[in-house]
């Protein structure tokens, strides 16, 4: 996965920041299989890393909308890469393994997205997906002070996502 430059790791004192770009599976079965292999590898990689670096912040484009609240049309997208049952199950496993979804922790019921297709005016109609995440190990959860998505900032098909944490 290093050949695709998907992970940037920086250690700061006793905590580690990983900025990640998870594969997309939207171009077909080969890339979807690659994505699922990456997810398995990444889970194992982070499980090992947590043994020596237990305070982790993992941010980036996960290319998965976890819950129905995270996608504008869950029924219509149930068979779409990025909202497949196996991808969503991986996210559930991820958050049950000692990680907190910082946005949902601070905004449990907020319907807000971080990505919109360039097609059919999706952004203007707010037909988006929340696929960009800030995950923190549970031992950092209570240090999160603010999380928001800068939906009014338009520079790509994603909007910036922001987390403030008191470390």
* Listed residue (70, 48, 62, 84) closest to 135, CA to CA: 62
**Known catalytic residue at 14:** no
The one catalytic residue among 11, 40, 44, 61: 61
Cα pseudo-dihedral 148, 131, 110, 143, rounded to 10: -50
Active-site residue numbers? 61
């Amino acid at each position: 996965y290093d050949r695709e430059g998907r992970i940037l790791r920086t250690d700061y004192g006793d905590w580690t920041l990983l900025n990640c770009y998870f594969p997309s599976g939207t171009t077909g079965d080969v890339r979807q299989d690659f994505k699922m292999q990456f997810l398995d590898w990444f889970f194992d990689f982070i499980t090992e890393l947590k043994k020596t670096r237990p305070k982790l912040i993992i941010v980036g484009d996960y290319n998965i909308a976890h819950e129905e609240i995270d996608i504008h049309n869950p029924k219509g997208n149930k068979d779409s890469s990025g909202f497949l049952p196996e991808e969503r199950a991986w996210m559930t496993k991820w958050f049950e393994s000692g990680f907190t979804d910082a946005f949902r922790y601070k905004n449990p019921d907020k319907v807000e997205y971080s990505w919109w297709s360039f097609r059919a005016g999706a952004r203007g109609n707010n037909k988006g997906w929340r696929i960009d995440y800030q995950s923190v190990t549970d031992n950092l959860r209570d240090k999160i002070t603010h999380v928001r998505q800068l939906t009014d900032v338009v520079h790509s098909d994603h909007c910036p996502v922001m987390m403030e944490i008191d470390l």
